[in-house]
A and B are shown apart, each in its own frame.
Chain A
Amino acid sequence: MSTASDVYEAPKVSFWNDPKIRSALVQVIMLLVIGFFVYEIVDNTITNLTKRNISTGFGFLNKSAGFDLIQSLVSFTSESSYGRALVVGFLNTLLVSSIGIVIATLLGFIIGIMRLSRNWLVRSIATLYIETIRNVPLLLQMFVWYGVVLKSLPGPRQAINVGDMFFLSNRGLNMPDTIFGDRAWLGLAGLVAGIIGAIVLRSWARKRQAATGQPFPYVLTGIAMILVLPVLGLLMAGWPITFDYPVLGGFNFSGGAVIIPEFMALLVALSIYTASFIAEIVRAGIQAVSHGQTEAANALGMRSGITTRLVVIPQAMRVIIPPLASQYLNLTKNSSLAVAIGYPDLVATGGTVLNQTGQAIEIVMIWMVVYLSLSLLTSSFMNWFNSRMKLVER
């Protein structure tokens, strides 16, 4: 029927109408325009910088900072360098966002499940929470926690006292500090051994269940291992732990550890705000599991607890994880609002450094690089997690 000569031959397209040439042209023009803009910006910046006598480069990071930070995870004094100040700020950002992520997830899951409750009152409390918190700016909530709630706590002398160990006042939460003595590493070793043991146990239990159908309560056993082994390690070392209790002296507490009110306000505001979004994600995820799945599980005679754990939640997680990841990113980015209440996070310390040195470009570049890499790290981890949870189809 068809011979080689019948094969359809595309008509010659004229030069300008050839899509390849067109797209090449468009891209060349675009490159030129972008190049022009970049050139202009760089040129203007260099002119402006020389005019203002600002030298570029990261040399200023080694200079002594000359300011104090109210919270630092590594030692920091006013003689430390600007670079170290930024590291402290970065660690503070990590601290508040990682704890915030844990609390927001827990709270969000609880509220999200409450929203699906059969009980009308429970449902309405969850709805009230979500609709109130979601529709008020985070910065305002932060001001309320910091400026109204925490400021109205009693002073150190009338602090709310829990068992002479925890003191809540408008100076923060003072609590005992743990001091690890010699050989305390045995406790840490116990903890590591417990975690590894729990992981090994889990994989063994799963294999055995797959082979024989015999379940093994690996969750409880694993938790027990993680809790008991460090204690055992410490006992072997002769319990080298002492506590340093906060003591009221003069107008403030001395000794012990303190959680500063700035940190508390930021953490509470971030967790509560993000939890309201997570709750909606959780609700949508659970509702996305089709009713047939629960009915099928019931028909197989599974109890409702097992149905939820083994049928509903694994499927709901597939819907929940991607938006959850972006909420985690949002929380991390929103932690930069710390600058408004004076918690020394990366943006706040960077702002102070910027004001003192005038190195705007370098500081903004550090901010952008740090936050971008945090975002990329979190999103790649969540992508990996998501691909593990994903439904494997043909």
Chain B
Amino acid sequence: MSSAPKTSAYLRTEDAPLLPAPISMVGIQGWIIANLFPTIGNGVVSILAGAFLLWIGWGVLDWALFSAVWSGDNREVCAVEGAGACWPFVYSRFAQWIYGFYPIDQRWRVNICFLVGAAALVPMLMPSMPHKKWNVLFLLIAYPLITLILLTGGQFTMSAAAFLNAFIILALAATFLPLVAFGIEEGIQSNRIGFGLAGFGILIWLASFVIGFSIWHSALGSFSPGSIGAAIFIGAGGLLGIGQLRGAANSSAQAALRNWLIAAAVLFGLMLVLKLDFGLQEVETSQWGGLLVTLVVAITGIVASLPLGILLALGRRSKMPIVKTFSVIFIEAWRGVPLITVLFMASVMLPLFLPEGVNFDKLMRALIGVALFSSAYMAEVVRGGLQAIPKGQYEAAQALGLSYWKLMSFIVLPQALKIVIPGIVNSFISLFKDTTLVSIVGLFDLLNIATTTSNDAKWASPQTGATAYFSAALMFWIFCFGMSRYSLFIERRLNTGHKR
């Protein structure tokens, strides 16, 4: 056997040079082949779809830009054969679309509200910004107050009876403070006299109802012998309650007292601020309109629906049958009917429900309807978040001895609400679109004012209506699309590693 090494005919000693990928796979051409012409049938579809897109796109562009009318002072420039969008109409009416019939020299107040709101909202929406707690407090407490005073003019009549009301409520709370600080049994023990006095005060008030003499019979807090007597006794009970807390040295007593003082300061502060006259001209809500009304309705609706919705969601998951039944009925009743019927109900039935002398204006009634309606939807969103929290979280908190409200407010709700931020934004989007329905009960929101101004004889032309709708649609679209992108962004940010 010869052991001479066989030499192969050819042995490559180095790598072959790397060739670029075939031209049909990369670059623009590759993309076009992969996405538009992978097969012949697909290519035909692409050509048809492209032609369709070009046709639509050209139609819109031609109407909105190339054949559009850009300047003029009345209908004559727009009522031309073959003319496109009538932009001078939008330009001349745009301020009305934003402010409605708000007095022109007072529009700066609306502008301030818009600017302050935007300045507070932007850092709120950016997850990396610090001081979220103060930001939320400003947006939910200070900002509504500022807008309320600026937009209406702040001419509120705050009667002395209202202060008496506030006093009675605070005194009652003070009577109950020892219960919070020392626990129920010890609390009752420590403030027996206080409870006795407060109970006697309430009895006087109830008796003034039952007896029904005209001077006695009046609501709690108005100046009548019944309610003043009640206020004196309840106030005494409250004083005794506070005295108990001041005497006690433990920290929960101090905390309870501090919280009560803050609440008292905020309540009286609010009433004083509302009572103050800032010298602003009064602007009735019937003069509001346009984007202002749209934003007021949408934002009030969502802000008011959050606390209500959270309570309803907790109620629906409660183990107490009455609480649960009530929440389920409330939620399903609102969710089962269209918003229009709710708005009709708010505008025609609410006045019947209220006692004589209490009257809400049109906007306020619509706001109440919208808030109740959206709170039912919010409750379902929040319930989804509550269900997503693993049972272990509840059990761990209970094992640590947390009470129900502590368990909810420190452990469960912070996690649940964080999960449902996209859901909240989505329901805000649908609420924002639904605000257009307030036009049916006679409010001048953005859509209604766009429609109304387009019927104005000064600008009547075949294209005026279309232009008005197109611009209003564009404004709604910008808001809604922006919010939906934001919701996606938050979803992606919160989605930390659960997705494959």
Residue of A nearest to B354 (CB): A44
Report if B340 contacts A (CB, 8 A): yes
* Interface secondary structure of B, over-half rule: helix
Q: A134 vs B344: C-alpha distance in the bound complex, in angstroms? A: 25
When A137-B476, A140-B476 are in contact, do A121 and B341 touch as well, CB less than 8 Å?
A: no
A368 contacts B341, C-beta separation under 8 Å: yes
On whether the beta carbons of B322 and A47 are closer than 8 Å, the reply is no
Contacts of B35 in A (CB 8 A): 118-121
Docked complex Cα distance between A388 and B354 (Å): 48
- State the main secondary structure of chain A at its contact with B: helix
Interface size class of A (residues with CB under 8 A): 35 or more
Instruction: Assess the B352–A361 pair: CB atoms within 8 A.
Output: yes
Min distance, Cβ A255 to any Cβ of chain B, angstroms: 31
CB neighbours (8 Å) of A241 from chain B are none
Which of B95-103, B130-138, B285-293, B466-474 sits within the interface?
A: B466-474
**Cβ contact within 8 Å between B349 and A360:** yes
Interchain nearest-CB distance for A212 vs B (Å): 36
B433 and A138 within 8 A (CB): yes
The answer to whether A16 and B185 touch across the interface, beta carbons within 8 angstroms, is: yes
A26-B320, A121-B36 known; A372-B333 Cβ under 8 A? yes
Contacts between the two chains (Cβ within 8 Å), count: 159
- Tell which of A67-75, A143-151, A172-180 binds the partner: A143-151
Contacts A14-B185, A137-B447, A361-B352 hold; do A337 and B437 have CB atoms under 8 A apart? yes
Q: Which residues of A contact B319 (CB under 8 A)?
A: 23
- Interface residue ranges of A115-135 to B (CB < 8 Å): 118-122, 124-125, 128, 131-132, 134-135
Q: Given the interface contacts A44-B352, A44-B353, A336-B341, does A140 sit within 8 Å of B473 by beta carbon?
A: yes
Q: Judge whether B390 is part of the interface by a CB distance below 8 angstroms.
A: no
Q: Chain B residues near A337: list those with CB within 8 A.
A: 340, 437
Whether B469 contacts A140 by the Cβ 8 Å rule is yes
Is A30 an interface position by the 8 A CB rule?
yes
- Number of residues in B with C-beta < 8 Å to the partner? 58
Is there contact, CB below 8 Å, between B434 and A137?
yes
- The reply on A161 being an interface residue by CB < 8 A is no
Which listed segment binds A: B22-30, B45-53, B69-77? B45-53
CA distance A358 to B307 in the complex (A): 35
Contact in complex: A121, B320 (CB < 8 Å): no
Q: Which of B231-239, B255-263, B417-425, B477-485 contacts A (4 or more CB under 8 A)?
A: B477-485
A218 within 8 A of partner (CB): no
In the bound complex, residues from chain B placing their C-beta under 8 Å from that of A34 are: 326
A49 near B: Cβ within 8 Å?
Answer: yes
Where the two chains meet, the residues of B that have a C-beta atom closer than 8 Å to any C-beta of A are 35-36, 38, 42, 45-46, 49-50, 52-53, 183-185, 319-323, 326, 332-333, 335-341, 344-345, 348-349, 351-356, 429, 433-434, 436-437, 439-440, 447, 451, 462, 465-466, 469, 472-473, 476-477, 480-481, 484
| Complex A-B, nearest 6 residue pairs according to Cβ-Cβ distance, in ascending order | A135-B480, A120-B35, A16-B184, A333-B338, A375-B336, A137-B433
A-B contacts besides A27-B323, A30-B323, A339-B440, 20 pairs, CB < 8 Å: A16-B183, A16-B184, A17-B184, A27-B320, A34-B326, A44-B352, A48-B351, A118-B38, A119-B35, A122-B45, A122-B46, A136-B480, A137-B433, A137-B476, A139-B436, A140-B447, A334-B338, A368-B341, A371-B341, A375-B337
